[in-house]
Structures are given as C-alpha cells and as structure tokens.
Structure 1
Amino acid sequence: MLPAAPWTWITEDDLLVSRLVTIFLNYQNAYWRYLEADLFLQAMKLAQPPSDLCSPLLVNSVLAMASLSAEYLEVFFEAGDYTSRGRQFHEEAMRLWLLEEGRASVTNLQALVILSMDLRGQDKLGMSLLAVAMQVNRDLPHLLFTEDGDDMRSLVPAALSLRERLYDWYEGLTSDLKYDMRLPAFLHEIHCEYFCVRMTLASTIGARLKSQNVPSEPRSSERHNGAEADAEHFKAAYWTSEAADLALKAAKILENYRSVYGLKVVLPFIFQAATTASFILLDHCSRETGPRTPNDELHSIEAFEEPRSGLEESFRCLVGVATQVSIARGAALMVLKTAKIMKVELPPSVMRLPRTVAEIAWGTRHDRSLSSSYPNYALVAAKGGRPEGLTMEELLDKWSNLSI
C-alpha cells in the first residue's frame, strides 16, 4: 500500500492513491517511461520528503494523469463529467510547480513532462510546460534546425534519409515487439507512434512541395546520408499518396486495438493516430475515390483498401476517445466541420456519428474550456504545411456558428 501523505493533501485514501499509481505504471508509464518505477515506489513508500526520487509535485502529476483512465468516484471533480477526472490533482500540481520557481531537479523535470502530456484540452499550457522542461534539461541543442534546412532541395533528401532510418528501425524490432493485435495495450503505442511519425513526415513534405515551385528534376548530387532523391520524390503526389497508404494501415491498427481493448483507457498515441489518420484520409477523400492497392513497401501490416472505410474507423476511434477526454472532442468536431468546409461527402456511417458527439455533451461550456494549439492537419496540408491560424482554438472559435 502506498501512502497518500505526505505526498498529497487532496485525498487521505491510501487505497485510492495506490490504485491510481498502479494505473499510471501499468499504462502510461509502461511505454512513455516518465520515471523509473522501482526507484519511485521505493521513495514514495519511505514517505520522507525531501527526496531526489519522489515529491508532492511529481505524485500529484502522476495522480492527475492516472485519473483520466480511472472510474473511481473520488477522481471526478464534477460528478458524471469524465473530462473532469483528476482536475483536483492537476490544479494542485500546478500550484506546487509555481512554488518551485523554476528550480531544476529530476522530479520537477519528470512532473513537467507528465503535466505537458495530460489530455485536458489545455495543450497551450502543455507546450509551455514542455518548453520549461527543455530548459531544465539543458541538453537538447542538437534538435535545432539550421537556417537553410527549409530548402526543398535539401529537405527532400533529408526526408528520404529519415524515412529510411525509420523503416529500418521498425523492421528491426525484436519478435516480441513486432506488431500483433494481441500485444499488450501499451505496446500498441509503439506502432501507433511510428505510423504517426511516418504519416506526418509524408503529409508535411507533400504539402510543402505542393505549395512551392520546386523543380521536379533534382541536382545531380542530390544525396543526404546515403538516401538518393530522384524526380518522383520531388512531386507532391508521391508523398500525399504515401501518407494515405500509411493512414490506411494506421486505421487497421486502430480497429484492432478497439476490438481488443476498447477505448476507455486513453493512450496518447491512440488518440494521435486516430486524429492524424482521420484528417489525412479526409483530405484524400476530397480528391480521390475508389479502393487503393495495398503498398507492401510500407511493411506487411494489413491495411484498409477503401479510404472511406479507413476514415470511418479512424473517426469512430476518435469519437470513442472523445467520450473520455476534452482534446479529442475538439478534434472530432474539427474533422466534422472541416469536411463541411471542404465539401467532402462523408460516408453515411460517419455522418451518423455526429449524434454521438452531441450525446457526449459537446457544447459551449466545453468549447470555452479548450485552450489548444492542436493543428487541423487537412487544412494545414492545403496551406503548404503551415499551421498559422489553423489551430483547434482558432478554428472552433471561427466556426462556432457552423452546424455539423
């Protein structure tokens, strides 16, 4: 049994705290590895702050995230409102962080990263916390881009090199990590994250090529870390087609996850994969119809052949997640309103789902609670990969009177 005191004053229930920590370690931490479980548990059991491995800020952050995957009455901040679960722990964690005044420590860094990933429709706050976490870490200068890195003549070969390395990494997964729908829930995140990265890479490069006047013939020495670019790679259609193929595979992974585990426990990259695939397939359906031939070069994972079926499954999963967390409600509403703006006729099965959105109590109160810079991938693609003015908060405010 883990002690509630002296780590949190929000509850005195040791059993509740123990159950929430167990949820966190078994689900969120199993893949994301925010903290080392054995060291954290040992320090928490000792209950002797200050500790280098446990703190009230870290514990309240853990309890806040775990609460979004729990149904104990005590975690509800507002009775019956699933999106309010753990808000009391989240607010306490934010209060404790302010008292830290930016102090760098292992537990502060862990807590900041956990808080930045908490799915509460407040990702502007999350981004600011992540920026502070980067300052605390002081070890990420290698991620900064050079000034000429945006040039398409160098960007395309760099994208090919990254794609090649991602492909080799994925194919090199050990047998116990290779995709199988019977994998533990947290291991599905490895595969969803991989496909999110690949989808985002392909759709972004395609959007940038579409928006810029890039010669289709590369220079004679167009290589980047061993990856060679030919004329086809400088065409937007090549990358947007690959993005659609990847989205159809991601949709099949989502269908498998939903059939095995359901959607009550929200893992970040299940949500992210559902959202990204929905937007990419929405954009694809606005331009093309008819089935696609599976691309075996994108791994041997099964894929939907019909884009509209893939869109239906991706959006179904997004709506399922939307019954649990606020950010997904905003994303689901964005997909529906974007389809109307783009004049895409959605499948009848998808159009029945807006009633579900209404049933999960979407309304003005939730709209105003969102402070989100989450991008609208379909419109970002149409704008050449630039997200300015196309975030969830901006668009939902702009489209507030647009019915679905």
Structure 2
Amino acid sequence: MEDEASRLLQTLKRQTVPMACYSCRRRKVKCDGRLPCSYCARRSLECSYESTLPNETLQQAKKRRYHEIERRIEGLEQLHDILARGNEARAVEVLRRMRRGDNIELLLDYARAGAGVDGSSLEQSQHSRRLFLKSLVESTASLEETTNAARTVVTIDRLYLPSVEAYQTLQHSVLQLDHLDGFLSETNSQRATGASAQQRAEDKSSGPLYWVPAQPWLVAVSDEETSHLLSMFLAYTNVCWRFVEVQPFLQALRSKDLGSQYCSPFLVNAMMALAYLYADIANSGDDDPEGAPHQNIRFHEEALRLWTLAGPEPSITNIQGLSILAVEHILQGKDQQGLDLLSAACELNNTLHLPVRLAEWSREDLVMGLMIAGDAVDWNRAPEMADVLLEDLQYWIGYPFLDEPIPLQANFLFQQRCLFTRLLQQATTILTAHSLEADALSELVSASQALSAQLQEWYDAIPQEVFPITRAPPNIYDLHAQYHCVQAALYERSHMHLCALMQETEHDTEELAGSERARLRIHLRATALQHCYEGATVLRAFRKAHGLKCVSFVLLNHSVVGAFVCLNDMHTPPEGSTPRTGKGLESDQRTISALEEFFRIILATSGRWILSRGLAKMIYYTASKELRIELPASISDITEIMNNSSWHSSDLLQLSATFRPNWSMPYVRKDDDLGNYRMGDMLNDLMESSGHRDGAVEPRPSSSRVMAYDPVHD
C-alpha cells in the first residue's frame, strides 16, 4: 500500500510541475503551466514556452534553441553585410524579396546560394531572365503573345528559368512560343521534383555550311567558330546585301594566300564583327551576361587596326571590308562613324583601277568587276548585268536555323535590287529636300508622286514567283519590304509638304484650294497607310517563317518609318474629326496591328543592336510625350519589361545616331524639315534634362497603367 501511494505521489508531482514559461522563469515566480499562464494573463504579458521535441529534455531544448538563435544572428549579419558592402544589384534583390514577404529562411537560402556562384546569384538570375526574354522576342510569336509571356516571366516570383547551358539546345532553331512554353514547363517540373535535367534532343544542324580555316586570317580563333560565323554571314547578311561573291571569296579564303585579291585579314575580321551581331549569346560564352553584341569588339578593333595599317589602298577587299564595317557601326548606334567608313569605301571605289576587259577574264572576275565598279567605269561600255549575272537556280539554306534547301534566283533578285536602287537614289533626294517656298513645296509633292508611279511600274513587273507566298529566302522579304517602305515614306513626306503648304494660305493656288486640297491630303495619308499595312504583312510573313533571330537592316528601316506613319495616323485624323489622343476616338485597328508588327521587329533586334534600343525609346517617348497618344498595352508593357530586364541606362551614352529622323515631330513643331529632328539630338536632350522638357504636356493615362513610365530616364 505504501509503495502504491509513493507511485501515485510521484505521478502527481510530474503532473503539477510543468515547464515554466519564459516570463515566469525570468522573474523567478511560480508558473501554473497554462497558455497563457495566470501570471502573464493578469499582467498582459506575452506568454511563451521553450518547445521540446520527443525524447528531448528541457536542457537539450534550451541548447537547441540557443544554436537556432545563434545561426539566425549569423544569418542576419550575413544579410547586413550583403546590404551594406555587397554587390548593389544583389542587395536590391534581397530588399525586393523582403518586401514581397519572403521569410528570413528564404532570404538566407537566396543569399547563401548566391555567395558561391560568381559572387552573385542575382547576376546569374538576371542573365537567365535576359536570355529567356531574348529568346522570346526573337521567336515567331506576335507582339501580344510576346508581351503576355514576358509579363508572366517578370511577375511570377517563384518561376524557375532555364539555365544558361540549356539555351544551347535552342540556339540553332526557329523558336515558336510552344517551344519556349514547353521549355519553361520542363524546367519548373524538374526543379519542383528535384529531378535532374534530361538530355534534350541534339542539335539538328550537321555543322556549318562552309568549313574554312581561321589562320592566317584571324588571331586566336578556332576553325569551328570561324566556320560557324562566316556561314551565318553568307546565309543571311550576304544574301541580302551581297557584300562578297561567295565562291571567289571561299576559294581565296581556303587558299590561305595573304596576297589574294578576294580575301584579306581585314575583310575577314570585318565579316566576323558583323556576324557576331547576329550570333547567338550561347556561342559567346556563359561568363558574359551582355552576350554576343559585346563579344564582337575583338574583331571590330582588329579590323580597324588592320585598316589603319593598310592605309587608303584601293582594293576590292578594302572596299568590301569598309562597307561591312560601316553597317556594323550603324547597328551599334554609331551613324557618323559608319557613314565615314562608307565614304572611305566610296572614295576607294572611285580610285580603284580596273583594267580593260580582257578575253581571258573568268566569269568570277567579270562578276566582281561589275559589283565593285560603281562610278569608276563608263557604264556605256560596261557589260549588261544579264550578260554577266547569268540565270542559275541556286538553293538557299538558312544556317543554322533551317536545313531545308529553298530555291533562290540570286542573280535575278540582285538585278532587280540594282534597278530598285537607282530609283531609291532619287527617292533619297526627294525625301531629304526642304524648302520654305510654296512653289518649291508644290514641286516636291509633284516629283514625289511621279517617282512613286515609276516605283509602282517597276514593282508590277516583278514576277509572281518572287513574292513571299510561303517560306522564302530573306532577300525576297527585304525587296518587298523596302519597296513598301519607300512608297510609304514618299507619300508621308508629301503629306508633310502639303501640310506646310497649307499653312502658307497667301500662296494657296486653285489646284490646292478647298475640297480638292482636303481630298489630296486624305489620299496621301491613305496611300501611305496602305503601304504600311502591306509592308507589315511582309514582316509578319517573315516572322512566322524565319523567326526574328536574323533580321535584315532593311526590315528595321521599314519598321521605323512604318511605326512613325502609324503614330502620325493615330495623332492626325482625317479633316473634320476629333484628334486621336487620350481615349476619345479609337484608331483604326489595322493601324494598331501594323504598329505592333513594326515594333515587334524593333523589339527583336534590340537585344543585339544598340541602335534598336535607341529607336524603341525614341518612338515610345515621341508617342507618349510629344504626340500624347495612347499606345497599345502590348507596346507600353514590353518596353518597360525590356528596359528593366535587358536594356541598360548606358545604352544612350553609346548612341551617336544623329541621322535617324523623327517622322512625327514636323507635325508637332509645324516645321517639315526632317533634318531638325534626329534621334541622337533628341535622346541627348532627354539625357541632359531633369526628366521632362520644360513646358511639356504630361501624357494622358493609359489603359495599360504604365504610361507614366519613362524609358529614357528610368
């Protein structure tokens, strides 16, 4: 009985001696073990207990708790170091995650993961985001689809993006939105389950189209890299511009003969510099977050060094190399330097000594002589192009993205481009002309319409088989897009001249008076828009067939002119109607669709060409700040996303593109001299200003809710 009483007493003691709460232990008072205990409840104190795990004593719980606090303090000290002395971008990311609600454990996981990867996981994360956005904007997706996908990527915090290495499986493909969606889903599925990445299908490309040696033309470059980049150059850039004749060039390149007249180290380095502006980022090394556009510097600088050493020597390769470097400079936003190089090429072209045509000349010699001759020969004695550029059906392969051979009438298309270029030279003279005299303005309008009729006659004579009905070589899209670009520019310029002429009411003539004048204005704008719509259709066909990894400079030019014509239509309605600003009058949906297609090209090339970033910012700023029109949400949102993720504030500092006219400002400033409104000057003024031009009218609110965003200053 005594043993039983003792056992019950011990049980009772265990039940009546609970662990004291933190407040009672600190004050050394009796605790009843409740939650909250009566002592804390009466005094409105926080009541908490040291939790214990199964089979854990109170002393062990205290020790465990001590180590937990110690680790947390160490983690907080690490976060303090990151915010105080670490990488600024990484510190900003920690604060962003903190503000979105991440707990201390998630912040520590992020910080610890970033500490061992090149100093910052944020940089790696931003690199992955840039790579995904770059792949997205270069896909076949429409602007609306692109913007929607980009919104998802930047708004879902816990969305895992593919690793840098994973993009190597996509670099040689024409990307579609379904491909990227599946790619993203696969990556997140693997991260969620902890599974390792599966080996994706091997690159379908069998290798470069042309295997060529790197030495003795290049320094510290492999044969593989040289073959890859030159194959891309010959497949896309050269098929549109025809800088070099492929077979004579390849024969000289493979001969390794430094004395060859058709190949030189200067020419090859110039080709590599321009080709790198089209190369996939994965080819330029994972350690460079800026990608291929910055990797071309080594070839760019070597080409300039070789040109400096060579001096003004008139040779075929020097003329070709200077022409290629001129385009490379322009795409990098350096118009003045590009035009200087082009002027040097023209000067050499005029002084190049071409011997009298000899009977033993090969066909390659004849072709090269015809390509280079320019003003250096008497065209009355020159052979007809059809006699030299014989019709021979070739097959074009879009290396490295397409492996299906497509028939190409290269010589016929080049003949057509030469005919078109002669008309284009006249168009340039008309488009850049300016006069304050009413009679001169009227003559410019008449000359523009006469040239437009000549262009139409040439275009109507083009055979139907060289129209891009299905997938076609890129130079076919170029030819059609450039035609519609020039026509739209001529009609829009005539519209500007007519508006200026109408302001000089004292000089009005009967022909331009009253309703006839109004009808002419409507006709000019409607025709300009029609060419914009048809040009946008060409761009859409190219995008769907080839994607936007390799876009010709011609398509970019057309997109810029077309975008401004669309903006002008949204800003300047037909006579008698309300201005299309704010939410008053909806713009023609065709104009909106065309504008989105034009901006799609500018957006896709902005990842590689600094020029395109400046153009995108100029168009955005002109629309929102000067014209005060409401841009589609697809354009507003993607501009903000790209500016925050892929573009850099230093981009504008690298621009010297003073020769890019703003086709909308003449309507705002009532002065139709395009020379007064150049991109470089406009962006420089914006950079120097405090954020807004004095007296500028703030843009109206946008349905996209981002119109207050300023891509130039933000």
Question: TM-score category by the smaller chain?
Answer: 0.7 to 0.9
Structure 1 unaligned blocks of 5 or more? 220-230, 293-304
Match of 2:296 among 57, 62, 86: 86
Shift of 1:323: 2.0
User: Alignment length, in residue pairs?
Assistant: 379
2:229 maps to 1:20: yes
2:607 maps to 1:323: yes
Regions of 4+ moved over 3 Å = 72-78, 139-146, 212-219, 231-238, 289-292, 380-385
2:622 maps to 1:338: yes
User: What are the residue-to-residue correspondences of 1:70-81 with 2, within 5 Å?
Assistant: 70-71=279-280, 73=282, 75=284, 79-81=288-290
Partner of 2:78: none
**Is the 2:442–2:498 contact (alpha carbons within 8 Å) kept by the matching residues of 1?**
no
**Is the 1:61–1:89 contact (alpha carbons within 8 Å) kept by the matching residues of 2?**
yes
**Is the 2:468–2:541 contact (alpha carbons within 8 Å) kept by the matching residues of 1?**
no
TM-superposition CA deviations, 1:150-186 (whole Å, max 9, x none): 6334333322221112112222212331232522233
In 1, the alpha carbon distance for the partners of 2:609 and 2:235 equals 19
The one-letter code sitting in structure 2 at the alignment partner of 1:340 is: S
Match of 2:274 among 65, 90, 115: 65
User: What are the residue-to-residue correspondences of 1:230-379 with 2, within 5 Å?
Assistant: 235-288=520-573, 306-341=590-625, 342-373=627-658, 374-379=660-665
Partner of 1:186: 475
Partner of 1:225: none
Structure 2 unaligned blocks of 5 or more? 1-210, 351-373, 377-421, 574-584, 693-709
Shift of 1:191: 1.3
Shift of 1:77: 11
In 2, the alpha carbon distance for the partners of 1:216 and 1:285 equals 29
Partner of 2:340: 128
CA RMSD of aligned residues (A): 2.8
In 2, the alpha carbon distance for the partners of 1:233 and 1:167 equals 24
* Alpha carbons of structure 1 residues 78 and 109: separation in structure 2 relative to 1, 3 Å: farther
Partner of 2:310: 100
* Alpha carbons of structure 1 residues 75 and 186: separation in structure 2 relative to 1, 3 Å: farther
Shift of 1:5: 1.3
* Alpha carbons of structure 1 residues 60 and 175: separation in structure 2 relative to 1, 3 Å: same
* Alpha carbons of structure 1 residues 291 and 12: separation in structure 2 relative to 1, 3 Å: closer
Match of 1:114 among 318, 324, 327: 324
Shift of 1:187: 2.0
**Is the 1:68–1:325 contact (alpha carbons within 8 Å) kept by the matching residues of 2?**
yes
TM-superposition CA deviations, 1:176-234 (whole Å, max 9, x none): 31232522233211111112211222222222232234645569xxxxxxxxxxx6699
In 2, the alpha carbon distance for the partners of 1:126 and 1:44 equals 26
Match of 1:394 among 662, 666, 681: 681
**Is the 2:624–2:631 contact (alpha carbons within 8 Å) kept by the matching residues of 1?**
no
In 2, the alpha carbon distance for the partners of 1:140 and 1:77 equals 47
In 2, the alpha carbon distance for the partners of 1:384 and 1:394 equals 16
In 2, the alpha carbon distance for the partners of 1:290 and 1:387 equals 28
- TM-score, normalised with respect to structure 1: 0.85
Larger C-alpha radius of gyration, 1 or 2?
A: 2
In 2, the alpha carbon distance for the partners of 1:240 and 1:102 equals 47
In 1, the alpha carbon distance for the partners of 2:306 and 2:553 equals 25
In 2, the alpha carbon distance for the partners of 1:360 and 1:191 equals 34
The one-letter code sitting in structure 2 at the alignment partner of 1:190 is: L
The one-letter code sitting in structure 1 at the alignment partner of 2:684 is: D
Mean alpha-carbon deviation: is it higher for 21-30 or for 251-260?
A: 251-260
In 1, the alpha carbon distance for the partners of 2:287 and 2:561 equals 30
Shift of 1:101: 2.1
Shift of 1:236: 4.4
The one-letter code sitting in structure 1 at the alignment partner of 2:300 is: H
In 2, the alpha carbon distance for the partners of 1:375 and 1:67 equals 27
User: What are the residue-to-residue correspondences of 1:23-42 with 2, within 5 Å?
Assistant: 23-42=232-251
Higher relative contact order (CA 8 A, sep 6+): 1
In 1, the alpha carbon distance for the partners of 2:297 and 2:287 equals 9
Shift of 1:266: 2.5
Partner of 1:302: none
The one-letter code sitting in structure 2 at the alignment partner of 1:345 is: E
The one-letter code sitting in structure 2 at the alignment partner of 1:332 is: A
* Alpha carbons of structure 1 residues 19 and 217: separation in structure 2 relative to 1, 3 Å: farther
**Is the 2:602–2:616 contact (alpha carbons within 8 Å) kept by the matching residues of 1?**
yes
* Alpha carbons of structure 1 residues 73 and 357: separation in structure 2 relative to 1, 3 Å: closer
2:498 maps to 1:206: no
In 2, the alpha carbon distance for the partners of 1:381 and 1:39 equals 50
Match of 1:137 among 334, 349, 354: 349
Match of 2:257 among 44, 48, 53: 48
3-state DSSP of counterpart to 1:364: coil
**Is the 1:61–1:115 contact (alpha carbons within 8 Å) kept by the matching residues of 2?**
yes
Partner of 2:485: 196
Shift of 1:18: 1.1
